Amino acid sequence: MSFNIIFVDPAAATYSKLESEAKKSYDNRKKNKIKKSSKQEGLFKQVHKTIVYLSENPKHPSLNTHEYDSIPNPYYKNQKVFEAYAQNKTPGAYRVFWCYGPNKIDITIIAITPHP
């Protein structure tokens, strides 16, 4: 079963910012004929891959998905919010916080943040 991905405004803004920084870095790298990808490009690629995995299988082993209690569910107060790893073993590793809903086939991305 494939899920539809929905972003709440702060998560959409973070995703767009990461995407634009990666594109700017990529364009600059190509202009200067540099082969190695930048940190911004790698970070966006990892976050994007996490969201693709969530849409395909929220229980994918590489996501290390688990419950997260500090963020309330925006739709149903008694439903769970989950944390998925976009990065691991990295200082300030990025995490994607999400929940099921508003419909059965939807996953809502609540936040994309570096781990404190």
pLDDT digits (tens, 9 = 90+) for 81-113: 999 999 988 888 999 999 999 999 999 999 999
pTM above the 0.95 mark?
no
Q: For the chain, how many structural domains are there in total?
A: 1
Supply the CATH number for residue 10's domain.
3.30.2310.20
Contact indicator for 52, 58 with CB cutoff of 8 Å: no
Per DSSP, the three-state class of 100 is strand
If you average pLDDT over residues 16-44, what whole number do you get? 93
